[in-house]
Amino acid sequence: MNLIPTGGVTVADGRAFLDAGAIAVGISSSLFPKSLAANQDWLAIQQRSHHFLQTLMQP
């Protein structure tokens, strides 16, 4: 069975889910904090996305 954790996944634990066998992780609130979305701070969200991907792609 393929698992994709989604609720409450953070940059700190996303890699652990993948190492434990998840095929992907779903990220929402930790990537799009309400304050950044409300202020339409797209650059900060882009930077968070880049950091998240770099962290998750590390072996």
* Number of C-beta neighbours around residue 5 at 10 A: 17
For residue 59, the model assigns a pLDDT of: 76
Question: What is the chain's percent helix, strand, coil content, to nearest 5?
Answer: 50, 0, 50
pLDDT in tens, the chain (59 residues): 999 999 999 988 999 999 999 999 999 998 899 999 999 999 999 999 999 999 988 87
| Distance separating alpha carbons of residues 43 and 58, to the nearest angstrom | 23
For residue 3, the model assigns a pLDDT of: 95
pTM: 0.76
